[in-house]
Amino acid sequence: MSIFSHQFHHLSQLLERARHDWQHTPFSCTHLPWADLAPPLLAMNEEELDELDENDHRALAWLGQWRPALLTPYFQPLPELNRASDYHTPHWSSGIGGRKWAQIKDFAANITAFGSQLAKNPTLPILEWCAGKGHLGRLLAQQGANITSLEWSAELCAQGQALAEQLQLNHTFICTDALSESAATLFKAQQCGVALHACGELHLRFLQHAAQAGTQELALSPCCYHLISGECYQPLSKLGQAHDLKLDRQSLRLPLQRQITGGERVRKLRHLELTWRLAFDELQRTLTKNNSYLPLPSFPKALLSGSFSEFVGWACNKKGLVAPLTIDSSHWLALAEQRRLLVKRIELVRHRYRYGLELWLLLDKALFLEEQGYQVQLGTFTNLANTPRRYLIQAKRPLPVT
């Protein structure tokens, strides 16, 4: 039994037992779902709730008083992997800087580590999966690698290809859908596959195609677990299938709810967004005479600089409703005030399972790769201040003994 399977087995059991803590939709709840947690949750005001929720370490210790399983080693943080030695932006970095550049540099710093063949054989071709403009590929090409970047946006491919040509790099774009059958044929045995922030179905295909082709080395940082083609996550590993948590899209979104605190302005915007969403929900329940929650999609933050009535117009339009001619904003906003606290109390508990669920998803992938004969490493490739999507799965096929 590998270390991963031992941890996964226990984590699965703990998450299954705690399902009642993490599987609620806070916007649908009309009261706190946990009798034992109601007194401590009700004892906190909004400021205290916000402060505790933002401090993951303290919040975990707080909830651990009633949920000691959260404090067991099965929820322990993954190790820190390599970090870049510097984050200077060269002239060819084409305007990317700050956190994005740090992510790319740190990701690249890990590819050549972990006993990679690339360290000895820089000619091992690299396939960059869902590349965007290929910033990562360009950095690796600058270091001498031979890169093929797959991306479906023709515009991003054209921009990336132009930059590669300007710099005379060994870097080619293939403009195609990663979910098409032909994309599978891009995977080869003598290759290193890299995928930085590939969303749900895209990273699942990456792993499946690479395993099928026997691709020598892999480096994947997954994101947007909920963007899958089915209703529920289908575990890749045998152990995952045996301990299937049957995660639906709503549960798969939970790991993504960790955000980097972006200062007071961002905090205020989040507060306003939550209030307006809840106020609209109160209004739509009256309008449709249907007392159930109607989810709204994400929207550009610029919408929050208008009036609440304008927001209602947008939301009604999205949901195929006729907006009322007059809107008593203060009435709906006052109702939202009461519900906002309930949502925050429920989120304070749910958020403590963000990491456990993400770890479960990562371990399922690590186990799948082990089952396929890979040696696997899991950890963080960059610091939390750069991105909360900082987990890296690295895998390599053991070389034949000569």
Residues that bind ligand SAM (CB under 6 A): 130-132, 135, 151-153, 156, 177-179, 196-197, 202
| Contacting residues for 362 by C-beta, under 8 A, at least 6 apart | 78, 222, 378, 391, 393
User: By the 8 A CB rule, do 286 and 346 touch?
Assistant: no
CB 132, min distance to ligand SAM, A: 3
Q: Specify whether the backbone of 222 is left (phi greater than 0), alpha (psi in -120 to 50) or beta.
A: beta
User: Smaller CB distance to ligand SAM: residue 3 or 385?
Assistant: 385
Q: How far is the CB of 295 from ligand SAM (least distance, A)?
A: 22
Q: Which is nearer to ligand SAM, 32 or 156 (CB)?
A: 156
Q: Give the residue with the Cβ less far from ligand SAM, 131 or 145.
A: 131
Q: What is the CA radius of gyration of the chain?
A: 23
| Sole residue written with tokens 């995660």 | 247
Of 81 and 196, which CB lies nearer to ligand SAM in the complex structure? 196
What is the closest distance, in whole angstroms, from the C-beta atom of residue 130 to ligand SAM in the complex?
3
Q: Considering the complex, what minimum distance in angstroms separates the CB of residue 178 from ligand SAM?
A: 3
Output 176 or 234, the one with its CB closest to ligand SAM.
176
C-alpha separations of 286 from 290, 291, 295, 297 in Å: 7, 8, 15, 20
Residue 381 phi/psi, 5° resolution? -100, -15
- Pick 150 or 274: Cβ nearer ligand SAM: 150
CB of 72 to ligand SAM, least distance (A): 33
Q: What is the rounded distance in angstroms from the CA atom of residue 12 to the CA atom of residue 69?
A: 12
Least distance in Å: CB of 121 to ligand SAM? 24
CA distance 252 to 164: 36
Least Å from the CB of residue 219 to ligand SAM:
12
Q: State which amino acid sits at residue 376.
A: V
Q: Which is nearer to ligand SAM, 153 or 309 (CB)?
A: 153
Amino acid at the residue 7: Q
Residue among 162, 202, 169, 199 at smallest CA distance from 183: 202
For ligand SAM, the closer of residues 87 and 152 by Cβ is 152
Name the residue nearer to ligand SAM (CB basis): 61 or 179. 179
Checking DSSP bridges between strand 126-128 and strand 391-396, what pairing results, if any? unpaired
**What phi and psi, each to the nearest 5 degrees, are found at residue 107?**
-60, -45
Q: What's the DSSP call for residue 76? A: P
The CB-of-270 to ligand SAM minimum distance in angstroms stands at 21
SS3 206: helix
In angstroms, what is the minimal distance from the CB of 389 to ligand SAM?
9
Rounded to an integer, what distance in angstroms lies between the CA atom of residue 190 and that of residue 319? 49
- DSSP H/E element including 327: none
